[in-house]
């Protein structure tokens, strides 16, 4: 329900003959408070007006509207019931009650009220649009689209009719049709930021990231900075820039959020911005910036293990393997995952802690029995550790998934050879050599004559 529309409709009512003067005074004070958005004060004035036996339906209508706006839907419906009893020919009474019922999960009741409103005022397009929304909630997209078609016929210059029909078409998987409606809405009203945001999201579904970015640009230019959506728009553009490989642009959008978004205590958007900034900096090779992002984020969310993993990866890229281990150990202490143990195995490998590498990979496999890369790396490190039976067991799992992995073929063949099974080992080594593995070629030349 729109506050401004109710104010306008009430101001057109001039017949207050049944109002006692004092009741009228309280009503007008309530209306004045409502116009100033002093809703609690408005309700008190309207209560006083009604207590003076004011039987004007607009008083109940206004109080019901305010209570609905406050989320007091049961009380609002009660007021609209009284307004309807006093004036069953005012379509708005049914329209407002429909909104309250719909917000109170009585979707079918909302449809019934809007149907009655349409009977009273069949040329009022917004009733068809509102009923279409409720039909959509009932999964009746056919009726929803028919209502929106009617709304557009009645008022083809109302851009919102087209945006709502775009939603219905989108839900029915008619993405080109939805795009056509959004194009028309923007043609009618090119200054609504929400239209561009809606079309940008549709472009992403159509995998047209260039058009999506253009729409996010328009959206951000139109929305005011004091509107929280300004920052969510930057976040959506940051995600899209990340998808297109524009990591610098992604970081720029995230910086706007991190620097200026200060709605407390909600830090969820700040968290998302830091996460994308850290990943974009990682992709861009700005590893120190990634570490800085992670450190700032950990001040807000000290128990987020994924942040420690990202920080560990940045240290790894900087060849700071001990720092990488510290970060990954923090992640494991919070939430031990297969991924975390695998990351730690990489750092231990760089530090030549081969037994720790094997142990980490075993823990990763215990947590994820389908972690083929962990089996692969364990096969290789077990070969170096002379755990030849373990090497062969891991290699068999890997080669079943990828029979042309030359490093694993070489390692398995050599393991068989060192277990005195030259007959099986050498043909495997020679196969790896034929696939281009230089170690296999050298081993075959020396051992498999």
CB of 151 within 8 A of CB of 128?
yes
Domain 373-449, architecture per CATH: Alpha Horseshoe (1.25)
pLDDT digits (tens, 9 = 90+) for 39-53: 999 999 999 999 987
Task: Please compute the mean of the pLDDT values over residues 103-131 and round it to a whole number.
Answer: 96
- Within this chain, domains 1-122 and 373-449 share the same CATH topology: yes
pLDDT beyond 80 at 266: no
Task: Please compute the mean of the pLDDT values over residues 61-84 and round it to a whole number.
Answer: 95
Give me 301's structure tokens. 């969310």
pLDDT beyond 60 at 291: yes
Task: Please compute the mean of the pLDDT values over residues 208-217 and round it to a whole number.
Answer: 98
Task: Please compute the mean of the pLDDT values over residues 158-164 and round it to a whole number.
Answer: 97
pLDDT beyond 70 at 9: no
pLDDT digits (tens, 9 = 90+) for 141-160: 999 999 999 999 999 999 99
pLDDT for position 11 = 44
**Domain boundaries defined on the chain:** 1-122, 373-449
pLDDT beyond 60 at 253: yes
Average pLDDT, the chain: 93
DSSP for 95-129 reads HHHHHHHHHTT-HHHHHHHHHHHHHH-TT-HHHHH
pLDDT beyond 60 at 2: no
pLDDT digits (tens, 9 = 90+) for 371-419: 999 999 999 999 999 999 999 999 999 999 999 999 999 999 999 999 9
pLDDT for position 19 = 59
Closest CA to 122 of 151, 152, 82: 151
* Res. 425 pLDDT band, cuts 50 70 90: very high
Closest CA to 106 of 63, 76, 145: 76
> In the CATH scheme, what is the homologous superfamily, with its name and number, of domain 1-122?
Tetratricopeptide repeat domain (1.25.40.10)
């Amino acid at each position: 329900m729109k506050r401004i529309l109710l104010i306008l409709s009430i101001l057109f009512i001039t017949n207050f003959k049944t109002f006692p003067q004092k009741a009228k005074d309280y009503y007008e004070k309530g209306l004045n408070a409502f116009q100033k958005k002093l809703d609690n004060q408005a309700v008190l004035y309207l209560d006083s007006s009604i207590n003076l036996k004011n039987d004007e339906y607009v008083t109940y209508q206004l109080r019901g509207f305010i209570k609905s706006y406050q989320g007091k839907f049961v009380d609002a419906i009660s007021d609209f019931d009284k307004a309807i009893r006093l004036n069953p020919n005012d379509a708005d009474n049914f329209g407002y009650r429909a909104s309250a019922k719909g917000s109170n999960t009585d979707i079918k009741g909302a449809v019934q009220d809007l149907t009655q409103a349409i009977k009273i005022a069949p040329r009022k397009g917004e009733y068809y649009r509102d009923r279409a929304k409720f039909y959509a909630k009932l999964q009746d997209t056919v009726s929803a689209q028919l209502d929106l078609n009617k709304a557009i016929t009645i008022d083809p210059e109302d851009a919102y009719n087209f945006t709502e029909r775009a939603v219905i078409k989108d839900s029915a998987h008619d993405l080109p049709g939805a795009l056509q409606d959004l194009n028309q809405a923007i043609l009618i009203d090119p200054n609504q930021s929400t239209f561009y945001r809606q079309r940008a999201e549709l472009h992403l579904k159509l995998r047209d990231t260039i058009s999506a970015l253009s729409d996010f640009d328009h959206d951000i230019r139109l929305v005011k900075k004091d509107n929280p959506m300004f920052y969510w728009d930057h976040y959506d553009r940051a995600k899209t820039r990340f998808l297109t490989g524009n990591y610098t642009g992604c970081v720029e959008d995230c910086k706007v959020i991190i620097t200026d978004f200060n709605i407390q205590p909600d830090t969820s958007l700040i968290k998302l911005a830091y996460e994308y900034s850290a990943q974009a900096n990682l992709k861009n090779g700005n590893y120190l910036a990634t570490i800085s992002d992670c450190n700032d984020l950990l001040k807000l969310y000290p128990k987020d293990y994924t942040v420690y993993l990202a920080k560990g990866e940045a240290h790894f890229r900087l060849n700071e393997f001990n720092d990488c281990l510290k970060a990954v150990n923090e992640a494991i202490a919070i939430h031990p995952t297969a991924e975390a143990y695998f990351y730690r195995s990489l750092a231990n490998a760089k530090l030549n802690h081969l037994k720790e590498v094997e142990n980490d990979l075993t823990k990763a496999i215990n947590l994820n029995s389908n972690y083929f890369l962990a089996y692969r790396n364990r096969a290789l490190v077990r070969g170096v550790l002379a755990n030849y039976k373990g090497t062969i067991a891991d290699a068999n799992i890997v080669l079943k998934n990828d029979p042309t992995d030359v490093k694993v073929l070489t390692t398995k063949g050599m393991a068989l050879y060192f277990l005195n099974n030259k007959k099986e080992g050498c043909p495997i080594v020679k196969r790896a050599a034929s696939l281009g593995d230089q170690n296999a070629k050298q081993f075959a030349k020396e051992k498999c004559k």
